[in-house]
A and B are shown apart, each in its own frame.
Chain A
């Protein structure tokens, strides 16, 4: 439908076809069922790697808090929304306080990735909508309560590190690599670049972890 004199008439057949096609598309859609999920009453099944609200976990067997207050999540958090204070104790350490400013969280899942004890996880839920920002300043009790309230996502620190570690065969073939944790890095380049780059810091993080979780 160019304004030129020649184009106007020559384009009319093409235009007619285009009109028919466009109206055909809308008509076919008219006959389809609506795909709307009526959200508050019906909830769709979220994917396994859903990155939703953050929460703290309890140990499944002993019922103790998993968090050892190591502050790794605090260090890695890009928007710096996590603040942890460690409580030294006899057998293991605890988090004295654990605050998470969910209103500034960017849901990057890095804190989950670095957690040596699978203490912080993400949940398959996002509805914490509120009229008061202060309700999104989550403390330790609130985070633990949320963990019990919603279904957890698949990802935990150990699972993510297992997934991103070099294949088992490569590990066995290079015994020296086991001694020096920095050595497997070239092999780890096979992993997707975005998660692997923050993971560079994970080996230092999990220095003490292997004994803690023999999985």
Chain B
């Protein structure tokens, strides 16, 4: 590579950003086709062959829609919120290595960066809820803050179990440590922490059954109720980017990232990584269409009474196991 490092990173960043946005666009199709089959429906069908052009049609529709700003809204906060919401959601892809050496930046504190930046989305979310000057949006934003603060702790603790097992916060090192055995398959500690990670992901992404912040029956559409057109699209983009990013993190931490047959080649490794991440995403979607929404007190009870102690115990157990065995790696 003869390019100067800065140009190289800028180029990779540009490619990754566009790939992510393209993926997000098409994940919305997956999000509609997959549950459609679960309900014995077909899903989008008529735009393009088997509805393959539906996301593009949706994107065009959202772009040409009228952009309405409520008169009572706090204009600055309201207009800024989608961007503040989107940026951290896209930024989390910066530290994800898609294959050995293929990534924007393989920080030595990659997991920490991911966890820190991904929880920043709550700022944009609350700005949107507050700036809309709408009681539904505000209630929804309050619920979201409440829920995300509750679930970030078990999320972080569950994500730290592989970190402890691998002995590093660097994503590529964590993946390489899973060469023998994926951390998701690691007996007991790995299994339980993977489940805890998935549940915490559902809650942190505000997905069913933890989607009280957009409970349609009571809050219409949650904090984005007043957004339309491109701002709405940005918020949706951010949400899906965040979800895919978290799926990628799950695949990295628990499913061995790019490891798989033929993963020495960069492209095959990237393929395995994408496949695993999509599997995590499909599990999240599968849960969404299997359960009903649960109450606020139940959500908080699950977090503080079950998930947080359980993930703490798991983290301690992992640390204890590493100390007893006297070494890292699977």
Contact = CB atoms under 8 A, between A and B. Distances in A.
Contacts of B297: 3
Contact of B42 (A8, A25, A36): A36
Nearest to B282: A30
B147 to A, nearest CB: 16
A23 interface: yes
A136 B248 CA distance: 56
Contacts of A27: 38, 286
Interface in A171-215: none
A35 B301 CA distance: 39
Contacts of A35: 40-41
A19 B286 CA distance: 12
Contacts, number: 46
A32 B40 contact: yes
A104 B40 CA distance: 34
A130 interface: no
Interface majority SS (helix, strand, loop, mixed), chain B: helix
B36 interface: yes
Interface string A1-41: 10100001000100000010011011101101111101000
Contacts of B287: 23
Interface majority SS (helix, strand, loop, mixed), chain A: helix
B217 interface: no
Contacts of A32: 40
Contact of B289 (A12, A19, A26, A36): A26
Interface in A106-165: none
B168 to A, nearest CB: 33
B325 interface: no
B302 interface: yes
Contacts of B302: 1
Interface residues of B, number: 21
A26 B286 contact: yes
A33 to B, nearest CB: 8
B301 A29 contact: no
Nearest to A31: B37
B286 A29 contact: no
Given A3-B298, A3-B301, A29 B38 contact: yes
A26 B301 contact: no
Nearest to A3: B297
B305 A22 contact: no
A1 B299 CA distance: 10
In the complex, which of the residues A34, A35, A38 has the most CB atoms of chain B within 10 Å of its own CB atom?
A34
Contacts of A38: 42, 45
Interface of A: 1, 3, 8, 12, 19, 22-23, 25-27, 29-30, 32-36, 38
24 contacts: A1-B294, A1-B302, A3-B298, A3-B301, A8-B301, A8-B305, A8-B306, A12-B306, A19-B291, A22-B291, A23-B290, A26-B290, A27-B38, A27-B286, A29-B38, A29-B40, A30-B34, A32-B40, A34-B40, A34-B42, A35-B41, A36-B40, A36-B42, A38-B45
Please list the 5 inter-chain residue pairs (A to B) with the smallest Cβ-Cβ separation, ordered nearest first: A22-B290, A26-B290, A36-B42, A26-B38, A23-B290
